[in-house]
């Protein structure tokens, strides 16, 4: 896999708007927070654009500026401004050869799942599923989240064992051991990519999933789509993150855990539950496209390879 360099104090982070817009007030806060981390910040033009009410510029504009950030020799790493909606729109406009030839640490999650999958498959780029500028960093990260993010960004070494914060236990849904590259991300986006050239490739890999604001019946539908598409047949193991505000409306309705037990557990793949990665208060950085080992019996996930050089 291609990898960007580990970032150092004084390096420049390019902030890009690949999806939905943000307010100027929150953007300014995010820039100040990144500068407090010790980085310089370069902001793409669409970070201050709104198109159609829910997009930060046209698909072509957003793709052009993301391509430009990879080509810009002054930019050392790239962080998405926020998620929301719109990243899948730009996939056909990206220059994957350019990106492969200019690898940089690329950070984001949620809607950015589409870009993680596209970069991994079409530019062989290892990426970082982690907090973003206006949606997270502008509002302050808790110590656990900040620690994992900065370690992944600045140290060219494996993250090692992923440890939840106190009070949040990782549990096992299916016992066993597995290893492989980590792929996946937000369930809604993984489902949306099915049947496209950017579909998440799970063959021999560890599939990570998380989501927010989805009722269990909708999660059931999306997991069923992944199952029918062969993703659980192909994967080596499953890492289940956080499910923020995903409660059933009916008292007797299935919970998210019930849905995973009904759909995913029967595949018999080693499966971890409640890894604190996703839209929750804690969102630990998780490298994609690098080797990891999963010991579901011991409730452990270990990142064996660095996402940077």
Which of 30, 44, 129, 210 does the annotation list as catalytic? 210
Place of tokens 């640490």: 105
Q: Which residue has the tokens 């050392």?
A: 76
**Quick one: CA dihedral 165, 186, 18, 105, positive or negative?**
positive
Alpha-carbon distance of 299 to 273, in angstroms, equals 9
The catalytically annotated residue of 19, 20, 110, 306 is 110
Tokens of 266: 């029967």
Q: Is 117 a catalytic residue?
A: no
- Residues 44, 279, 291, 306: which is the catalytic one? 279
How far apart (Å, rounded) are the C-alpha atoms in residues 6 and 37? 14
Q: Rounded CA gap, 58 and 86, in Å?
A: 9
257-287 core/surface letters (b: 16 or more CB in 10 A; e: else): bebbbebbbeeebbbbbbbbbbbbebbbbbb
Q: Which residues contact 239 (CB under 8 A, 6 or more apart)?
A: 182, 184, 206, 207, 208, 209, 271, 272, 275, 277, 294, 301
For residue 289, give the nearest of 94, 78, 155, 100 by alpha carbon: 100
CA 84 to chain centre: 13
Q: Can 210 be counted among the known catalytic residues?
A: yes
Q: Which residues are known to be catalytic?
A: 110, 210, 279
């Amino acid at each position: 896999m291609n990898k960007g360099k580990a970032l150092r104090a004084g390096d420049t982070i390019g902030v890009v708007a690949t999806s939905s817009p943000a307010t100027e007030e929150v953007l300014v806060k995010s820039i100040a927070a990144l500068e407090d981390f010790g980085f310089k910040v370069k902001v793409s033009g669409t970070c201050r654009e709104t198109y159609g009410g829910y997009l930060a510029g046209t698909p072509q504009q957003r793709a052009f500026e993301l391509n430009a950030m990879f080509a810009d020799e002054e930019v050392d790493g790239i962080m998405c401004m926020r998620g929301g909606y719109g990243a899948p729109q730009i996939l056909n406009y990206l220059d994957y050869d350019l990106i492969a030839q200019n690898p940089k640490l690329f950070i984001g999650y949620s809607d950015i799942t589409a870009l993680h999958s596209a970069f991994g498959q079409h530019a062989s780029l290892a990426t970082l599923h982690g907090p973003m500028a206006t949606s997270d960093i502008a509002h302050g990260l808790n110590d656990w989240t900040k620690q994992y993010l900065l370690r992944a960004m600045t140290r060219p070494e494996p993250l090692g064992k992923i440890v939840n914060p106190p009070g949040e236990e990782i549990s096992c849904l299916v016992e066993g051991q597995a290893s492989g590259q980590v792929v996946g991300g937000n369930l809604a986006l993984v489902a949306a990519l099915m049947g496209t050239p950017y579909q998440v490739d799970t063959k021999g890999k560890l599939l990570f999933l998380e989501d927010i604001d989805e009722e269990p019946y909708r999660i059931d539908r999306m997991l069923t789509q992944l199952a029918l598409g062969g993703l659980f047949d192909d994967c080596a193991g499953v890492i289940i993150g956080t499910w923020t505000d995903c409660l059933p409306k009916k008292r007797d309705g299935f919970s998210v855990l019930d849905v995973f037990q009904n759909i995913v557990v029967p595949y018999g793949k080693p499966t971890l539950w409640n890894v604190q990665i996703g839209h929750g208060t804690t969102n630990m950085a998780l490298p994609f496209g690098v080797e990891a080992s999963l010991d579901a019996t011991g409730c452990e996930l270990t990142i064996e390879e660095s996402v940077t050089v």
